[in-house]
């Protein structure tokens, strides 16, 4: 997972920019480079994934003086590269991102809507002496921005790079590009121009085919690839598909609390079925508490759900980094937002389900996607998200929501039905949804809440009032996270829209904890 940074002015010394950028060094520990242009600066940390030789180092430059720094993967780039070579372009490396400057010269901003990619980039166009920035439609690759005291815009992969350089730091909106001082939406991945009215079997066949293709694209790497396997439906499907496509044992990793892990037994079942080389990482309550402050600093959030779910993910990724040569990890994120979560069983209508899905997909970059990116990149690994394949997401968003609501007495029915057969054991294919932090072990969240109880007394609400201007903490646990966040990101709370919570406007969802454990339909999720 690489890191990028750019400044569109010349009044901040390069040494100050490099000092801020050093905070994201773990994203690209292989090599760093700073490139100064007449009116600004590009900075890059490299994690070598594609085109691993020195020629693949960024920023890439063109003979006319233009340059680009990109953290991303362009899927299907080999075919695209051949097409560009046929039109006279020449390339020095095996990097997919080297294609960006030729594409820019040929297509301009139109190229963003045509890219099949997870990306964030900053581009300097020499003929116009101007900077352009863009981010993929889901926001899988991170990008933040802010303005210097002199009014020039800065961009960076992580907000901590901009601390002390910019005032208010904000997430760069997914599916947008920045040009000539304006943010322009080039693709709204949630927009449905025409509802898909295919019959159930056709829908499921398309879901199956598109997800398989999404996994296949993400197996292309010049370095070893591994897989996070919780034993839940989503990660298990990714692993099963990859195992069949590669026709060899894959490397799978699961994490669980030593005291009461739920996921580990299911992950083992899935691993045994697909014949993977399976690795279990056991963690303790002490491990979780010791890592808490570091995780919040890495995440740049105070959201309860994100932090709880990040504890296990960060620790398993740390173990992968320390114990293996894996550089790329495939994950199962984004399925919940498309097909439903436990709380969406309470959606009062198909239209309400669809509206909730739209909201959650638009917010992904602040929650689940942020968690996966930071936990993985902090350990010098790259995350790839098959359920975030643009064609897959666009199709599922367009499916008639009457088919997506839970009228089948089983959440995510479409996805389960699409893969019925011998792909996974029935115990995995039909496993009830459990929140990741809960399934790592109920003691994980319980230990965190108990820790907060030990810190704060009965006057905690008065302390919480200090933050009433935005996303006021509403429990001792949320206050703990907010105060750690403010220690590292003072005054930057508005980077996060609010707490991730079930839709409290729905009957059965007016709860005071984001865990599915508090919902009446949790049922066998905790078994």
Which residues participate in catalysis according to the annotation? 2
Tokens of 163: 């601390």
At residue 182's C-alpha, the angle toward residues 40 and 360, to 5°, is 110
Question: What burial letters (b/e) apply to 394-425, b meaning 16+ CB within 10 Å?
Answer: bbbbbbbbebbbbeeeebbbbbbbbbeeebbb
* CA distance readout (Å), 87 to 90, 107, 156: 9, 13, 33
Q: How far apart are CA 66 and CA 127, in angstroms?
A: 8
End-to-end CA distance of the chain, in Å? 35
Can you give the three-state secondary structure of 477-509, one letter per residue?
Answer: HHHHHHHHHHHHCCCCHHHCCCCCCCCCCCCCC
Question: Dihedral angle at the C-alpha atoms of 217, 223, 228, 234, nearest 10 degrees?
Answer: 0
- What gap in Å lies between CA 229 and CA 266, rounded to an integer? 9
Residue that the structure tokens 């121009």 belong to: 193
Give the DSSP H or E segment for 267. helix 263-274
With tokens 């779910």, the residue in question is 309
CA–CA dist 73, 118 (Å, integer): 5
* HSE-up of residue 160 (Cα within 13 Å, Cβ side): 22
Helix runs in 330-441, H state only: 335-339, 350-363, 368-377, 390-398, 401-404, 413-418, 426-429, 436-440
Structure-derived torsion over alpha carbons of residues 361, 366, 372, 375, reported in degrees to the nearest 10? 180
């Amino acid at each position: 997972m690489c890191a990028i940074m750019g400044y569109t002015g010349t009044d901040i010394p390069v040494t100050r920019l490099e000092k801020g950028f050093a905070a994201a060094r773990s994203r690209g520990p292989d090599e760093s480079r700073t490139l100064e242009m007449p009116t600004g600066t590009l900075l890059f940390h490299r994690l070598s994934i594609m085109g691993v030789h020195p020629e693949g180092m960024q920023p890439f430059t063109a003979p006319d003086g233009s340059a680009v720094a990109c953290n991303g993967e362009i899927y299907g780039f080999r075919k695209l590269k051949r097409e560009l070579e046929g039109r006279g372009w020449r390339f020095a490396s095996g990097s997919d991102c080297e294609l960006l400057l030729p594409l820019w010269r040929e297509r301009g901003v139109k190229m963003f809507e045509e890219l099949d990619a997870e990306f964030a980039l900053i581009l300097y166009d020499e003929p116009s002496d101007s900077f352009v920035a863009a981010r993929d439609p889901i926001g899988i690759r991170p990008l933040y921005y802010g303005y210097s005291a002199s009014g020039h815009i800065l961009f960076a992969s992580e907000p901590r790079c901009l601390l002390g350089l910019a005032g208010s730091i904000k997430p760069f909106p997914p599916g947008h590009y920045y040009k000539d001082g304006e943010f322009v939406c080039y693709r709204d991945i949630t927009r449905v121009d025409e509802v898909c009215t295919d019959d159930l079997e056709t829908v499921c066949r398309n879901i199956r085919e598109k997800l398989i293709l999404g996994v296949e694209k993400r197996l292309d790497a010049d370095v070893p690839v591994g897989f996070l396997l919780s034993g839940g439906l989503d990660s298990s499907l990714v692993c099963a598909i990859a195992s069949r496509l590669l026709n060899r044992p894959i490397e799978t990793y699961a994490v669980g609390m030593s005291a009461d892990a739920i996921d580990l037994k299911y992950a083992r079942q899935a691993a045994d079925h697909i014949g993977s080389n399976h690795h279990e990482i056991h963690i303790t309550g002490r491990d979780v508490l010791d890592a808490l402050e570091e995780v919040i600093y890495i995440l740049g959030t105070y959201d309860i759900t994100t932090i709880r779910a990040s504890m296990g993910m960060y620790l398993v990724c740390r173990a992968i980094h320390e114990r293996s040569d894996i550089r790329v990890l495939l994950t199962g994120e984004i399925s919940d937002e498309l097909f439903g979560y436990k709380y969406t069983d309470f959606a009062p209508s198909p239209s309400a389900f669809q509206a909730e899905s739209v909201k959650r997909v638009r917010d992904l970059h602040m929650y689940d996607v942020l968690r996966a990116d930071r936990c993985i990149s902090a350990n010098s690994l790259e995350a790839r998200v098959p359920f975030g394949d643009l064609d897959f997401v666009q199709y599922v968003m367009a499916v008639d929501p009457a088919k997506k609501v839970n009228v089948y007495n089983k959440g995510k029915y479409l996805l389960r039905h699409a893969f019925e057969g011998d792909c996974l054991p029935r115990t995995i294919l039909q496993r009830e949804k459990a929140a990741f932090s809960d399934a790592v072990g109920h003691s994980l969240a319980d230990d965190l809440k108990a820790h907060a109880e030990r810190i704060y007394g009965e006057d905690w609400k008065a302390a919480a009032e200090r933050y009433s201007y935005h996303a006021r903490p509403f429990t001792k646990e949320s206050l703990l996270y907010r105060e750690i966040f403010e220690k590292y990101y003072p005054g930057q709370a508005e980077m996060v829209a609010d707490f991730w919570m079930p839709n409290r406007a729905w009957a059965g969802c007016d709860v005071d904890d984001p865990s599915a454990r508090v919902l009446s339909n949790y049922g066998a999720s905790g078994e």
